């Protein structure tokens, strides 16, 4: 059997399982999730034993300490997965929701019913907890899920899949509803990306190169974001103290994530007072500043920014800074260098706030708040399966609803079309 | 300049124009649409002159009478386009709608604002009225549109584009917001399908082979349906007279469209009385019946169905018929042969109605109504840009809202993340 045949066989089974999944009651889905949580607790030692094989192999292959850290299924990580499962149990089931029901002039009653997407493929790297988190969300939304983690985590992922499948079995649910691809060749990913007949959506999570590979080679629809190059624009009327807090929070609180701040834009009239003030705090927190000539004049400790610093996702304690002439120049900069992730204006000017909200094309646009709020949990979606920075189907953080679709339903009384 | 360079240049201009389009007021968009309607009226003779070139070329190339008929811009067709424009003016503007605004525990206020998708590519065959209908809907939803009609209609499409662009110009809108691709080589389509950087969505309309070509070669997201293989299942409790009307309407009223009925499924207990009764009326209307052995026994005039008759989109006065053991067998048949377009049950059984609505995976699922209602206008969406039979972004008829997305907006008061 070739890898393509093996992957196709698994996908056919997933599609078949997705039919059962789509009509499961909320009670059964929640019981499965609870069994999963219990199973992770009960089989912790087995999981960690398998995880140690990955860690040993990783050390041998010379993975970085950061990579090994992300790979490790410590007690704390397993507790996190269990807590995540309990959170998903508590979320409302999106499936079956009927909305927009109206009587039409023809006499038929038309509405929309929320339904699962079908089979969702996750392609991800290193962190084995994605296996559990993604499976839980897909399952709660009534989907089957097809998981393809990285080769470095294969033992961990297969062990977790075993625990998850046992939980399905206990409620009589087809175990093909949650499958981990056991083949870690790149060929397996390629095969998976061609299965448009069986997969309804692919969500890649990981480095930009993985995501670009998936997006460029997939015949299955893909929801993804490449990177988060988030800006804060401090307008002339923005309150300096508020702006300092928002900039610090965006840059320093967790610099390695996609909703961290990467570039600060400052209104020319605000710059002379604000820039030295914010630089003081940023430099104190160990942030390297890379500024335009105006910035460097006002903040002697700033380095001169290279052209590539704008639009760069540093994911580190580095901030690009630029003085701009006003709102229009700030928005032009964002069009040119932004990644449609999260953009913030700090202003007290009502019209500027409204224009920024309306005109900036990003999945999240904010007035007087930290970029770090751009997150499914913070936005009230519950847990998050990913973020989309393209507009089709979902734009921004994706929760349970984004793992569903809506069909039209019609209640008639024998109507025919005239 | 190569074709790829030419198409790319046009797409870059469309992307640029889409920024202006996205913030146009409803009043300006409606004025542009009104100018378009006026322009079609004023330039009718020019349009028909250009159309005659296409018709002459089509006759020379031996196009069928049906093809030439679809190509002709008669007075009636032009009046239809004008009426269509007036209808789009009357539709509410979806852009800017803010919904789901909530205060979060952090104190930020989060909601969603409806925004245009950006640049929409239409790839279509023969009917030049699509040029006007699609442009109007895309424009009203704040998008730029890139139109690629067939070579057989190139003179007509370019003439229409000229009229549409004049209307944009009168309101100071970038004419690149509505462009017809002047190159009719297949290479132009190929080039267009690669422009993921500039196009946000492609909607193909035409024969199945065109649509499959687009879906298989596009790197831009595609919304499409291949075909409509719609079923009516007459349950044991379905009222025979109602069922006859629904079957007749589905099959006979307009057999050449995608929401026409193609296969009739009849409950075993209903068959002995119902099948002869419905056959009488269908045969009287000139419908050819192709039935399973049970059907042929009850209706001697029916031909024996070949296996390929099930799942076939006849688009003609032909109906496949099958007797089934009950609801489950009917739903199994639909899973196997349906095209996720429109499925109907005729029943008086409450539980069966609810199960059919919930369990059948199709973009429109109906109880006691004709398949012919599956249409944007009938469903209350206003005019329709197409139908989607895959679930991502849109499922079923697509109206103005399906040409938009939603971004998150946040009103803060200086909040930062803890």
Distances (CA, A) of B148 to A333, B126, B131, B180, B181: 33, 11, 9, 6, 5
In whole angstroms, give the CA distance from residue B302 to residue A334.
Answer: 67
In whole angstroms, give the CA distance from residue A190 to residue A81.
Answer: 29
For A125, the token pair is 């790297």
**DSSP SS3 for B237:** coil
Residues B168-184 have a mean pLDDT of 96
Phi and psi at A57, nearest 5°, equal -60, -40
In whole angstroms, give the CA distance from residue B357 to residue B367.
Answer: 8
Residues of B in contact with A96 (CB under 8 A): 358
Q: Is the dihedral of CA B317, B320, B321, B325 positive or negative?
A: negative
Does B354 score more than 90 pLDDT?
Answer: yes
Residues of B in contact with A110 (CB under 8 A): 373, 378-380
CA atoms in the 13 A half-sphere facing the CB of A266: 31
In whole angstroms, give the CA distance from residue A259 to residue A231.
Answer: 10
**Min Cα separation A339/chain B (Å):** 12
Task: Give the pairing type, strands B98-103 and B109-116.
Answer: antiparallel
Least confident of B102-116, B127-141, B214-228, B250-264: B214-228
**DSSP SS3 for A110:** strand
Q: How confident is the model at residue B184 (pLDDT cuts 50, 70, 90)?
A: confident
In whole angstroms, give the CA distance from residue B196 to residue B218.
Answer: 9
Closest CA to B321 of B310, B333, B331, B334: B310
**pLDDT for res A206:** 86
For B351, the token pair is 């539980």
DSSP state of B373: G
**pLDDT for res B207:** 85
Residue A295 falls in which region: left (phi positive, over 0), alpha (psi -120 to 50) or beta: alpha
∠ CA A360-A363-A367 to the nearest 5 degrees?
55
Identity of the residue in A118, A357, A414 whose CB atom sits nearest the CB atom of B246:
A414
Contact A396 B374 (CB under 8 A): no
**Residue labelled with tokens 């009043």:** B27
In whole angstroms, give the CA distance from residue B404 to residue B406.
Answer: 7
In whole angstroms, give the CA distance from residue A216 to residue A86.
Answer: 36
Contact A253 B416 (CB under 8 A): yes
Residues 6+ apart with CB under 8 A from B49: B159
Does B14 score more than 90 pLDDT?
Answer: yes
* Residues pairing with B302 in the sheet: none
Phi and psi at B211, nearest 5°, equal -65, -40
CA-nearest residue of chain B to A242? Answer: B414
Contact B410 A365 (CB under 8 A): yes
In whole angstroms, give the CA distance from residue B414 to residue B272.
Answer: 74
Does B26 score more than 80 pLDDT?
Answer: yes
B361–chain A Cβ distance below 8 A for any pair: yes
Q: What is the ipTM of this complex?
A: 0.95
Percentage of residues in chain B with pLDDT exceeding 70? 100
Identity of the residue in A246, A358, A366 whose CB atom sits nearest the CB atom of B23:
A358
**Min Cα separation B417/chain A (Å):** 6
Neighbours of A296 (CB within 10 A): 19
Phi and psi at B116, nearest 5°, equal -65, 160
Q: pLDDT digit string (tens) for B375-388?
A: 999 999 988 999 99
For B150, the token pair is 């067939």
For A344, the token pair is 């913030």
Give A 92-131 residues with CB within 8 A of chain B.
96, 102, 104, 106, 108, 110, 113, 115, 117-118
Contact A405 B395 (CB under 8 A): yes
In whole angstroms, give the CA distance from residue B8 to residue B17.
Answer: 14
Q: What is the pLDDT along chain A (418 residues), one digit of tens a residue?
A: 899 999 999 999 999 999 999 999 999 999 999 999 999 999 999 999 999 999 999 999 999 998 899 999 999 999 999 999 999 999 999 999 999 999 999 999 999 999 999 999 999 987 899 999 999 999 999 999 999 999 999 999 999 999 999 999 999 999 999 999 998 888 889 999 999 999 999 999 988 889 999 988 998 999 999 899 999 999 999 999 999 999 999 999 999 999 999 999 999 999 999 999 999 999 999 999 999 999 999 999 999 999 999 999 999 999 999 999 999 999 999 999 999 999 999 999 999 999 999 999 999 999 999 999 999 999 999 889 999 999 999 999 999 999 999 999 999 999 999 9
**pLDDT for res A288:** 98
**pLDDT for res A103:** 98
Closest CA to A123 of A40, A183, A44, A57: A183
B156–chain A Cβ distance below 8 A for any pair: no
In terms of Cβ atoms closer than 10 Å to its own Cβ (0-12, 13-18, 19+), residue A229 is buried
Q: Which domains does chain B have, with CATH numbers?
A: 3-224 (3.40.605.10), 230-371 (3.40.309.10)
Q: pLDDT digit string (tens) for B39-52?
A: 999 999 999 999 99
Does B186 score more than 90 pLDDT?
Answer: no
* Residues pairing with B202 in the sheet: B121, B222
In whole angstroms, give the CA distance from residue A214 to residue A45.
Answer: 34
Closest CA to A407 of B379, B282, B278, B276: B379
**Min Cα separation B359/chain A (Å):** 7
For B156, the token pair is 């007509």
**pLDDT for res A126:** 74
**DSSP SS3 for A172:** coil
**Min Cα separation A352/chain B (Å):** 13
Element (H, E) at A210: helix A208-217
Contact A392 B390 (CB under 8 A): no
pTM, two decimals, is: 0.95
- Across chain B, mean pLDDT equals 96
Identity of the residue in B115, B245, B373 whose CB atom sits nearest the CB atom of A410:
B373
**pLDDT for res A383:** 87
In whole angstroms, give the CA distance from residue B167 to residue B53.
Answer: 24
CA-nearest residue of chain B to A219? Answer: B216
């Amino acid at each position: 059997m070739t890898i393509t045949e093996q992957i196709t066989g698994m996908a056919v089974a997933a599609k078949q399982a997705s039919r059962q999944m789509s009509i499961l009651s909320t009670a059964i889905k929640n019981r499965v999730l609870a069994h999963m949580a219990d199973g992770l607790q009960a089989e912790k030692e087995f999981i960690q034993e398998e995880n140690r094989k990955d860690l040993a192999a990783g050390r041998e292959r010379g993975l970085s300490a950061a990579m090994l850290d992300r790979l490790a299924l410590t007690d704390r990580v397993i507790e996190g997965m269990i807590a995540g499962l309990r959170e998903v149990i508590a979320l409302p089931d999106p499936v079956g929701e009927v909305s927009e029901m109206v009587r039409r002039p023809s006499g038929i009653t038309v509405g929309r019913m929320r339904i699962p997407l079908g089979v969702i493929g996750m392609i991800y790297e290193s962190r084995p907890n994605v296996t559990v988190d993604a499976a839980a969300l897909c399952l709660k939304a009534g989907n089957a899920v097809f998981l393809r983690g990285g080769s470095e985590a294969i033992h961990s992922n297969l062990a977790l899949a075993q625990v998850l499948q046992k939980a399905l079995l206990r409620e009589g649910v087809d175990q093909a509803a949650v499958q981990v691809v056991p083949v870690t060749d790149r060929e397996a990913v390629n095969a998976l990306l061609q299965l448009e007949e069986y997969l309804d959506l692919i969500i890649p999570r990981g480095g930009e190169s993985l995501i670009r590979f998936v997006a460029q080679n997939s015949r299955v629809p893909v929801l993804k974001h490449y990177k988060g190059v988030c800006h804060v624009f401090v307008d002339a009327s923005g309150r300096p103290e508020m702006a300092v807090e928002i900039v610090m929070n965006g840059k320093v609180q967790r610099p390695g994530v996609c909703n961290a701040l990467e570039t600060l834009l400052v209104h020319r009239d605000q710059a002379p007072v604000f820039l030295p003030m914010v630089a003081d705090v940023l430099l104190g927190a160990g942030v390297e500043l890379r500024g335009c000539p105006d910035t460097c004049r006002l903040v002697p400790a700033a380095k001169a920014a290279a052209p590539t610093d704008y639009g760069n996702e540093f994911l580190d304690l580095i901030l690009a800074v630029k003085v701009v002439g006003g709102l229009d120049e700030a928005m032009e900069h964002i069009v040119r260098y932004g990644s449609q992730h999260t953009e913030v204006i700090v202003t007290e000017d009502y019209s500027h706030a409204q224009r920024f909200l309306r005109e900036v094309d990003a999945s999240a646009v904010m007035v007087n708040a930290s970029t770090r709020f751009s997150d499914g949990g913070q936005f009230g979606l519950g847990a998050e399966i990913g973020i989309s920075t393209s507009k089709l189907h979902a734009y921004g953080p994706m929760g349970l609803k984004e793992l569903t679709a809506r069909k039209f339903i019609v209640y008639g009384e024998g109507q025919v079309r005239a």
